[in-house]
Structure 1
């Protein structure tokens, strides 16, 4: 089957998740800048999760541009990825609200919500890797996607960094958040591998037609 319906469904789910996060942002308890400053942890948590969802949407789109068909296994692998991504609004709200509550009471910030945020990111990364391998299996080892993925250094480094961030959360929660932000920044750097493979294939087709 073609990839169009999978892409459209996934786009819709990711758009809903971003909308949910926006709707869950609390209104400032006042009408001055100090009130807005109180919600800075929530806004930063929203920003980080927005970036992560944007990265997954971008990479998901590019990955499916490099394949021509999907199998039943791909459909389930895609749903598996969307399941973990659907937890992002929930885990973001928990981490941000606990950070505000404990800071307001001058208590040490609990590492558990920050570590749980990292666990969700880790499992989402694992689900994305599984989807990627399922697509390559469906297309074959000589497919454009297999050629584009290559050694996938960033894909292999990310889980290691997530585990590091989870561990550092128990040392100091802000260190865990810092590691998660570093991974996000690493994926924001444009990766043209898939685009080059798709463009190369289009050039080959035009040459054959010519």
Structure 2
């Protein structure tokens, strides 16, 4: 199967996710700087989630650049990833509205964890389809960043009940680890 439709569909869904997140930020009814103060947590949660969606879009694009073909299993794994990505606006809105309190922060972390797991599942399906000698397998075979990310999410979720701020710092740390484009994949792309 041709991969162009899955890439185009995924790009469209990610664009809609970002649009939904920005539409959740309500304009203040007053025309003062003070009226913006209650929006600070909402805007901060938007920034973090925007970065996360951007990271997934960037890595999805790079990963599919190394892929020659797809199959039905890959299409369903991609839909699984898009499902979890589509929950980011909900988590974003909740942590912003509730000023990063424990339960919303733990649910946000769960959503991020499921995004990471579903991305890993998609990646593994693609590797199985492309083969152990594929560029994708060589690029991600020792996925330290992925494993560290999963570990941080797993500890951040219960830590939200101890300190939502520590939990938030772990989410930010994972984003910072991934914000730089993945050179492993770019190096494989340059081998062609």
User: Structures share a fold, TM > 0.5?
Assistant: yes
1:114 aligned onto 2:80: no
* Residue 51 of structure 2: aligned partner: 51
Aligned ranges 1:143-154 → 2 under 5 Å = 143-154=134-145
Deviation at 1:30?
Answer: 1.9
* Residue 139 of structure 1: aligned partner: 130
1:130 aligned onto 2:121: yes
- State the number of aligned residues: 192
1:172 aligned onto 2:125: no
Deviation at 1:31?
Answer: 1.3
Q: 3-state DSSP class of the match of 1:39?
A: helix
* Residue 76 of structure 2: aligned partner: 76
Which ranges of 4 or more aligned residues in structure 1 deviate by more than 6 Å? none
Q: Is 2:46–2:92's contact at 8 Å kept on the other side of the alignment?
A: yes
- Structure 1 residues 127-183: Cα deviation after superposition (integer angstroms, max 9, x where no partner): 000000000000011111001112011011101001121121111111111110111
* Residue 192 of structure 1: aligned partner: 183
Q: In 1, distance between residues paired with 2:184 and 2:177? A: 15
- Structure 1 residues 85-117: Cα deviation after superposition (integer angstroms, max 9, x where no partner): 000001111111122xxxxxxxxx641110000
What stretches of structure 1 of length at least 5 have no aligned partner? 100-108, 202-210
Q: Is 2:95–2:101's contact at 8 Å kept on the other side of the alignment?
A: no
Which stretch shows the higher mean deviation, 53-62 or 19-28? 19-28
Q: In 1, distance between residues paired with 2:181 and 2:11? A: 20
Q: Is 2:55–2:178's contact at 8 Å kept on the other side of the alignment?
A: yes
| TM-score between the two structures when normalised by the length of structure 1 | 0.89
Deviation at 1:34?
Answer: 1.4
Q: In 1, distance between residues paired with 2:43 and 2:163? A: 20
Q: In 1, distance between residues paired with 2:119 and 2:96? A: 25
Which is greater in Rg? 1
Q: Is 2:59–2:182's contact at 8 Å kept on the other side of the alignment?
A: no
User: Aligned-residue CA RMSD in angstroms?
Assistant: 1.0
* Residue 33 of structure 2: aligned partner: 33
